[in-house]
């Protein structure tokens, strides 16, 4: 039962970090997004 509580505490942090990481990937190209604008 203790492992269930540990999993319940860690799972939201893991999902949040996964979403934060996935937000930096461009879905069309699959490459990492840069902060610099490409339209010059």
Domain assignment of residue 16, yes or no = yes
Domain assignment of residue 38, yes or no = no
DSSP code string of 6-40:
HHHHHHHHHHHHHHHHHTTB-TTT-PBPPSS----
Query: Given this model, what pLDDT does residue 33 score?
Result: 81
pTM attached to this predicted model: 0.61
Q: What pLDDT, in 10s, does the model give residues 1-40?
A: 899 999 999 999 999 999 999 988 888 888 888 776 665 5
Residue whose entry in the numeric block shows the structure tokens 């996964």:
18
The total number of structural domains in the chain stands at 1
Look up the domain containing 20 and give its range.
1-25
Domain assignment of residue 37, yes or no = no
Domain assignment of residue 36, yes or no = no
Domain assignment of residue 33, yes or no = no
- Output DSSP code: residue 36: S
């Amino acid at each position: 039962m203790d492992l269930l509580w540990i999993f319940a505490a860690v799972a939201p942090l893991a999902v949040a970090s996964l979403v934060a990481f996935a937000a930096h990937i461009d879905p069309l190209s699959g490459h990492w997004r840069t902060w610099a604008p490409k339209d010059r």
